[in-house]
Chains A and B, each alone.
Chain A
Amino acid sequence: MKRYEVIIVGAGPAGLSAAIEAAKKGLKVVVFDENDKPGGQLFKQIHKFFGSKEHHAKIRGYKIGEELLKEADELGVEVVLNATVVGLYPDKEVNVRINDEIHHFKGDTVIIATGASENMVTFPGWTLPGVIGAGAAQTMMNLHGIQPGKKILMLGSGNVGLVVSFQLLQAGCEVVAIVDAAPRIGGYGVHASKVSRTGVPFYLSHTIKQVHGEDCVTGVTITEVDDHFAPIPDTEKFFEVDTVCMAVGLSPMSQLLKMAGCVMEDNPKRGGQVPIVDEYGETSVSGIFAAGDVSGIEEASSAMIEGKMAGVCVAEYLGYIDEEEKDSLLKVFDADLNSLRQGMFAPKNRGKLIESTEEGIEISKNLLKKGYVKDDEIERFPGVVHKSGVHPVIECTQNIPCNPCQDACKKGCISTGKNITYLPFVKDGSECINCGMCVASCSGQAIFLVNEDCGDGSATVTLPYEFFPLPEVGTVGYGLSRKGEKLCEAEVVSVKSVGAFDHTNLLTMKVPKEYAMKARFFKCS
C-alpha cells in the first residue's frame, strides 16, 4: 500500500487545477485517470473560451489543457494513466485498477474530480450504429481526425449541441438540423448564431420520433411536440442522414463519493446525484473534496477554479499553509468563480425564461426560437451602431460573463461597462483602425467590421471565418443572411490570417450597400 498526502481522481480541468495548487504548496500529489491521455475533455474543445483573462478567455480549450499539463509536470505532479479508481473506502483507502491488477493506496485527503457522463434519450432506432453521443463526435473529429458522419442531425440545443454542431461544420460535415424538445434554445445565442448563419436550421419544440435503418442509420423522422412534450400528429419531417448526434445534457459521475459515504442529494439544478458540499467543495466526510462537474454540471472554466479551491483547502487541511493564507487565496478564487456565475446563463437562472437583458433591452425571440436575431431586432442592441468608415458592429445580445473584446481593441473602442456581463458597446468618438483584433478575439464570433458605404454603392463586411477551404481574394459567391439564406452577390476582397488571430481568419467581402447590416456570412458559388 502506498500513501499520498492527496489522491486526486480525474485528470481533467478540475483535477489538474487541484493538483497544481496542492503541489505549489509542497504536497505530494498523485492523480489517477482512467484514460490513456490526461486533460479530460479539454483536448476536444477547439473553440475559444468565454470569460475574462483570469478564466483563460479567448484561449481554445485544448491549449488550456496543454498549459495545465505543462504546469502540473513542472511541479512534479504524478499523473497515473489507464488507472481506474474502482473503490473509495473509509479512512480514504483507494482501490485502483491498473492493467488487470488492483492496487491499494491511502490518501490523507482525497479530491474527486471525475466529471460527468453524457445523458441519452431513447427512441425507436436509438441503438443503431450511427447514433452517437456529442462527446463521441468530438472525440472522433478533434482527437482522432475522422469525420463522425457525412450528414448529421443534432439533438440538443444547449451549448454542447451548438458548439459540437459548429465543430462538425469545421470538420467538413453537413449538419442538416438542430432539434430540441424545449421551446427555446438552451445555449448561448452567439453559439446558435454562428451555426445559423451557415444555413443550419433549428427545430425547437421538436423531438426525434424514429431513426431509420436496418444495419445503420439511413434517416431520421422528427415531430413537433406540444407544451407537455407530447407529439403533435401530422407534424413529422424526414431527413436523410447517416448520423444522429445526441447532446442532451450531462450527469455527474459521483458514484465514488456515494461509496465513500458522503451525504448526497438529488439536485436537478446540479444535474442529478451530487454530494452536499460546502462553498469550497468539502463533502460531509472530512478531508474528501469534490471539484468540477461531479458536484454540479457547469463548465471547464468553473471546474478549474473549483479545482484550485480544493487544492488550497487540502493544503491548509494538512497544515502546509495557515488559515490566513488559505482565506486570502480563496477570496481571489471566489471572486473569479462568482464573476463566471453571472448573467442570464448563470446556474441560478437555469430553466428560467429571461425576456430582457440587464440593460432592460428585450431579448430577441427569434434568437431563442430560430438561432438568429432578425434584421428588425438587431438595431436595438448597444453594440450595433452606424458610423461612416470601418467600424465594429457587435451582435452580442445576451448577458454572458465575457469581455475579451474590450481588451482586444488597442484604441479602446469597445467597452462592456462596469459589469463583465453587460452588453459591449462602441464608445462615442472612438477611432477604429480596422485591425480586426476584436473580430478574432470574440469567442462568440459576434463582432463584424462594417463599412456601410464605400462610396461606389458597395459596403464591406469583415467576418470571422474558421472553415476550410479558405476562400481566396477575388472569389465570387454569396452574402448570406444571419439565417444563412442567400442575400446578394459578394466578392472576397481581403483575407487576413495572422498568429494573433489564432486560426480565426478575417474574411472581408464586398456586398451591395443595402446589405451592409444584413449579410453576415460568405459562401462560394
Chain B
Amino acid sequence: MSRISEHPILGKKEKGREVEFTFDGQKMKGFENEPIAIALKANGVMIHRYTKKEHKPRGLFCAIGRCTDCVMVVDGKPNIRTCVTPLKEGMVVNTQDGVKAVGI
C-alpha cells in the first residue's frame, strides 16, 4: 500500500530515519520507530500469521494493540503485536505459524 506523501489536512508526515529489516529472510526498508506493521504494509505484506488449528491467514485488524491478530515472531520472540511495536534497525521479522515462526 502507498504511503501518503502529502495529506490535505496533515501535510507531510515526519518520519524517523530509514532503516533496514528482514521479513521472512527478505530485506525490507521502513522508518525507525514506526510500528512494524506499518512498515510491512508499505512493503505490501498482508499476512502476519497463520492460525494454529486451521492454518488460516490473519493480518492487521485493529491497529491499536487490542485484537492480537497481527502478532508475529520478532527477533525470535513470538506473539509480538506488530501494530504497536516500534521498528528498529536490523529487526528480524517472521510470519508466525501457530505460536512459532513459519518453517521452524
Q: Which residues of A contact B (CB under 8 A)?
A: 34-36, 46, 60, 62, 117-118, 127-133, 135-136, 139-142, 144-150, 170-172, 215-216, 466-468, 470, 503
Question: In angstroms, how far is the closest chain A Cβ from the Cβ of B12?
Answer: 8
For the complex with contacts A131-B61, A132-B63, A140-B38, 16 further pairs of A-B residues with Cβ separation under 8 Å are: A35-B84, A133-B62, A135-B62, A140-B63, A144-B13, A144-B34, A146-B4, A146-B38, A147-B2, A149-B1, A150-B1, A170-B9, A215-B47, A466-B9, A468-B6, A468-B7
Which of the residues A36, A132, A145 comes within 8 Å of B4, measured between beta carbons? A145
Tell me which of A60, A148, A170 contacts B1 (CB under 8 A).
A148
Nearest-neighbour CB distance to chain B for A312, whole angstroms, equals 30
B98 at the interface (CB under 8 A from A): no
Flag B1-17 by CB within 8 Å of A: 1 or 0 each: 11110111110010100
In the assembled complex, which residues on chain A have CB atoms less than 8 Å from the CB atom of B15? 145
B31 to A: closest C-beta gap in Å: 9
Per the bound structure, the CA–CA distance linking A171 and B7 in Å amounts to: 6
Complex: A123 Cα to B2 Cα, angstroms:
28
Given known contacts A132-B63, A216-B47, A468-B7, is B42 in contact with A146 (CB within 8 Å)? Answer: yes
Contact B84 A36 (CB under 8 A): yes
Instruction: Chain A residues near B58: list those with CB within 8 A.
Output: 127, 129
CA–CA, A401 and B2, complex, Å: 38
Q: Which 8 pairs from chain A and chain B are nearest by CB?
A: A129-B59, A145-B13, A136-B63, A129-B46, A216-B46, A139-B63, A144-B38, A468-B8
Inter-chain contact A145/B47, CB cutoff 8 Å: no
Chain B residue contacts of A149, Cβ below 8 A: 1
Partner of A118, one of B13, B57, B62, B69: B62
Q: Enumerate chain A residues within 8 angstroms of B57, measured Cβ to Cβ.
A: 128-129, 215-216
Instruction: Write out the residue numbers on chain A whose beta carbons fall within 8 Å of the beta carbon of B8.
Output: 170, 466-468, 470, 503
Q: Which residues of the partner chain B approach A132 to less than 8 Å between Cβ atoms? A: 60-63
CB atoms of A136 and B62 under 8 A apart: yes
Tally the A-B contacts, defined by beta carbons under 8 Å.
Answer: 99
A-B contact pairs, 10 of them (CB 8 A): A46-B9, A127-B58, A129-B57, A131-B61, A136-B61, A136-B63, A136-B64, A139-B63, A144-B34, A146-B38
Chain B: number of interface residues, binned into ranges: 20 to 34
Which residues from chain B sit less than 8 Å from chain A, CB to CB? 1-4, 6-10, 13, 15, 34-35, 38, 41-42, 46-48, 56-66, 69, 83-84, 86
B35 surroundings in chain A (CB, below 8 A):
144
Contact B64 A171 (CB under 8 A): no
Q: Are A60 and B47 in contact (CB under 8 A)?
A: no
What CA separation (Å) do A133 and B64 show in the bound complex?
10
Compute how far the CA of A295 lies from the CA of B19 in the bound complex, rounded to whole angstroms: 43
Known contacts A129-B60, A135-B62, A170-B9: A140-B47 contact under CB 8 Å = no
Query: Whole-angstrom distance between the alpha carbons of A381 and B61 in the complex?
Result: 42
Residues of B within 8 A of A171 (CB): 4, 7
CB pair B61 A133 closer than 8 Å: yes
A145 surroundings in chain B (CB, below 8 A): 3-4, 7, 10, 13, 15
Chain B contacts for A128, CB-based, 8 A: 57, 59
Closest CB in chain A relative to B69 CB, distance in Å: 8
Contacting residues, chain A, for B41 (C-beta < 8 A): 140, 146
